[in-house]
Amino acid sequence: MKIKFISNACAIFESDKGTKILSDPWIVNGVFEGSWCHFHKLETKIEDLQDVDAIYVSHIHPDHYDERFFDFSREIPIIVLDHGLNFLHKKLIEKGYKNLIKVKDKQTINFKDIKISLFAPFVKHVFFGNNTKIGNLIDSAIVLESDNQVVFNANDNNPDNLSCELLKERFEKIDLAMINYNNAGPYPSCFNNLTDEEKLKEHQSNLKRNIDFLASNLEILQPKFFLPFAGAYVIGGKLHYKNNYLGTTTWDDCIERLQLNNSLKRIDFIALREKDIFDITNKKLLQEYIPINNMEVNSYIKEELSKLIYPYEEDDYPSITTLKNDLEISKSKLEKRMEKINIVPDMDVNLELDNAELWNVVKAKNKKGVLNCKIDLRLLRRIIDRKSHWNNAEIGCHIEFYRTPNYYSPDIHTMMQFFHL
């Protein structure tokens, strides 16, 4: 097999017989409500990705399924996980895609000369285990087997140690592991209860935690090759200053950190840039790798990406009176949803409206803290109307938080995804 890398979680997997499977095509800047961008200009266009036999879409997040530019033959087979919450299936069917290959958790199918196995979320929360009520509902991972090679593409579905042990038992050997190495989210960059100095410390702490966790998984999997994969982005637009505190790093830095771990000495680490090809069968790169130039990245952010305008910035500001009425309706629906799935909120959640007015969304029953949220009212209007999504706004760094104490309640953040009309 060969893998041709495009960017983030987008790649083309090709068997020795020429069967091509494209994964997670995100090409155009501006996902997550306009802020997520590639760290360099991509030469690839969506038209360049048409010559494939199937597409694997891991989940509905826009850096994996960018519905703005997801434009392929409506007959092409699209491989998706078949599980309870099929938001992705609905979106694809609405766009006219008829040939969905739905694969159940841990099921293996044959697609031409490639065996494909899909996996539902390995764990509810990577760092909280299953100690959350809701947790990860949408991610998937894929294993491709062909030409006596096994490729594990976890993308955002990071396994825990137990899942890695089960994968190792099932597949015995893994030739190439492709696993996320970054933490995509608003912490610490959007948490204003932290000083800038504290954000930098948390940024470094997050990096170490992520790399250490990845290393523990690689110790178990012991793939022949490891490719840092997915979670590669920068913030553009007026929020570009948040790049300093994202808790993310480059794949070059990821590899340098992993190479310091003596238990990973038998693993060969590889990095790929856009259009680079790694020949797994012959165990070689088909071109010389050019390391990331951080000065060029910073210049690109400053000179070009910082000037991006988010879609909601072109909206008119909403009527506060109408907005408050709709917030009340949305709050009532959220309360019913929490009761239905037996979520007992442990934090008060407030929205900061005009003139710093705090409007309560969630009232804690076993109060451990307070989470105040500040969001552009134009984006809030879109979220309430379901034209945008709270989770996308949060991941895109569009929501400013202030929490006291600095306590993370994962279920609260998940439940806010259901705050809408």
Q: What CATH number is attached to the domain comprising 357?
A: 3.30.1050
Q: Could you give the CA distance from residue 156 to residue 231 in angstroms, rounded to a whole number?
A: 7
Q: How far is CA 66 from CA 84, 91, 211, 240, 299, in A?
A: 22, 11, 28, 21, 26
Same domain flag for 285 and 381: no
Give me the amino acid identity at 364: A
Q: pLDDT tens-digit profile of 141-166?
A: 999 999 999 999 999 999 999 999 99
Q: If pLDDT is split at 50, 70 and 90, which confidence band does 130 have?
A: low
Task: Name which of 312, 296, 166, 32 is nearest 8 in CA terms.
Answer: 32
**CATH number of the domain residue 228 falls in:** 3.60.15.10
Same domain flag for 296 and 272: yes
Taking residues 391-418, what's their average pLDDT? Answer: 94
Q: Can you give the pTM of this predicted structure?
A: 0.96
- Which range of residues forms the domain containing residue 358? 314-418
Q: pLDDT tens-digit profile of 55-101?
A: 999 999 999 999 999 999 999 999 999 987 688 999 999 999 999 99
Q: Is the pLDDT of residue 127 over 80?
A: no
Same domain flag for 301 and 324: no
pLDDT of residue 84: 72
Strand ranges (DSSP E) for 231-285? 234-235, 268-269, 277-279, 284-285
Rounded to the nearest integer, the mean pLDDT of the chain is 95
Sheet with strand 268-269: strands edge to edge: 108-111, 114-119, 141-146, 149-155, 176-179, 225-228, 268-269
Same domain flag for 300 and 344: no
Residue 220: both structure tokens together: 């178990």
Same domain flag for 186 and 91: yes
Same domain flag for 76 and 201: yes
Under 8 Å between Cβ of 387 and 302: no
Same domain flag for 198 and 300: yes
Q: pLDDT tens-digit profile of 340-359?
A: 989 999 999 999 997 778 99
Q: Could you give the CA distance from residue 14 to residue 12 in angstroms, rounded to a whole number?
A: 6
Q: Could you give the CA distance from residue 201 to residue 332 in angstroms, rounded to a whole number?
A: 39
Query: Structural domain tally of the chain?
Result: 2
